[in-house]
Amino acid sequence: MSHRLIIVLSIILLLVLLLLTPLSKGNGGISPTPTTPLPSTPVPTVTTTPSPTTITPTLPEPTTNTPEPITPPAPSVPQFYTVLPGETLWEIAGKLGINMEDLVVANHLTDANLIYAGQELYIGTVPIIVPEPTILEGKQIIVILSTQRVYTFEDGILLKEFIVSTGTSNHPTVTGEYEIYEKHEFDDMSGGVKGIDYYYLADVPWTMYFHKGYGFHGTYWHSNFGHPMSHGCINMYTPDAEWLFKWAPIDTPITIIP
């Protein structure tokens, strides 16, 4: 075989080898061993829920308007005047410092000259004010003539209040400081002048005298308490007089205020 033919065959063989061998990758013509890729670990998805934003409104500071305390008016009671024999309405108005026309209107008088002895005229109202005791140890009775009230105190504390009837303007109840000096469960009473204002009352219950013939006692001949009705004594509703009789011993101090 000629030298030229050998060269041609060698070239053909080389080309065949080149065609049958895969192309190398990388340096050195060595194909890398294929590797199995690792499974990818999924990255968890974190969902962030935004916190709700609470908006608190700013309220204005409350304004405290403390109302001024209202003092209720003191309760009051009607006050009356008993007409004396021979008195005129004009004289009564002057004595009491009251306008005569006001007396006419308040008493529904059709004629200012038609008044009579013993008649009770309404002359206004007097506020009811509980008195302060003047004795802080022991018992005390206070009488207020203008409001027709009796108050009992023990060690400076008010126990009871009574509505009573004291003396009329013809026979006023005495005022001042006294003490109970005599007590009777029943007593006969009389007084006045026969033919004018004489009276006789048998078995007057729960009587307590504090000055001469003046005293506290029960009353069975009228129930007009709150109005002057007596000849100077302090007329009481009979159960009230019984309570006072049993509560107040001899020598209990009494204060009587106009």
Compute the average pLDDT of residues 153-178.
96
Compute the average pLDDT of residues 17-42.
54
CATH code of the domain covering residue 205? 2.40.440.10
Instruction: Please report which confidence band the pLDDT of residue 123 belongs to, taking 50, 70 and 90 as the band edges.
Output: confident
Confidence (pLDDT) at 9: 78
Cα 246 to the center of its chain, rounded Å? 34
Residue 219 counted as domain residue: yes
Given a cut of 70, is residue 58 above it in pLDDT? no
Which range scores top for mean pLDDT: 5-9, 108-112, 158-162?
Answer: 158-162
Instruction: Please report which confidence band the pLDDT of residue 2 belongs to, taking 50, 70 and 90 as the band edges.
Output: low
The 10s digit of each residue's pLDDT in 132-163 is 999 999 999 999 999 999 999 999 999 999 99
Give the full edge-to-edge strand order of the sheet including 176-179.
157-163, 149-154, 139-144, 253-257, 176-179
Instruction: Please report which confidence band the pLDDT of residue 18 belongs to, taking 50, 70 and 90 as the band edges.
Output: confident
Q: List the structure tokens of 21.
A: 């061998």
Residues sharing a CB contact under 8 Å with residue 247, sequence separation 6 or more, in sequence order:
139, 152, 159
The 10s digit of each residue's pLDDT in 75-94 is 777 788 888 888 999 898 88
Residue 192 contacts residue 209 (beta carbons within 8 Å): no
With residue 187 as reference, give the H or E element that holds it.
Answer: strand 182-191
User: Which residue has 């060595």 as its token pair?
Assistant: 30
Residue 58 counted as domain residue: no
Instruction: Please report which confidence band the pLDDT of residue 216 belongs to, taking 50, 70 and 90 as the band edges.
Output: very high
- Count of domains in the chain? 2
Question: For residue 21, what is the DSSP state?
Answer: S
Positive/negative CA dihedral, 136, 144, 160, 244: positive
CATH code of the domain covering residue 96? 3.10.350.10
Positive/negative CA dihedral, 80, 257, 206, 164: positive
230 with 211, same domain: the answer is yes
122 with 234, same domain: the answer is no
Confidence (pLDDT) at 132: 96
Given a cut of 90, is residue 96 above it in pLDDT? no
Q: Residue 252's closest CA among 204, 182, 186, 205?
A: 182
Residue 12 counted as domain residue: no
CA atoms of 26 and 155, how far apart (whole Å): 124
Cα 204 to the center of its chain, rounded Å? 41
184 with 170, same domain: the answer is yes
- 3-state class of 244 per DSSP? helix
Confidence (pLDDT) at 79: 80
CA atoms of 174 and 93, how far apart (whole Å): 23
Compute the average pLDDT of residues 227-246.
96
Confidence (pLDDT) at 49: 57
Top-confidence residue, 197 or 35: 197
* Length reported for the chain: 258
138 with 253, same domain: the answer is yes
The rounded mean pLDDT for the chain is: 83
CA atoms of 6 and 108, how far apart (whole Å): 170
108 with 185, same domain: the answer is no
Confidence (pLDDT) at 11: 80
Amino acid at 40: S
Q: Provide the residue range defining the domain that includes 109.
A: 74-128
Positive/negative CA dihedral, 24, 26, 27, 32: negative
pTM above threshold 0.85: no
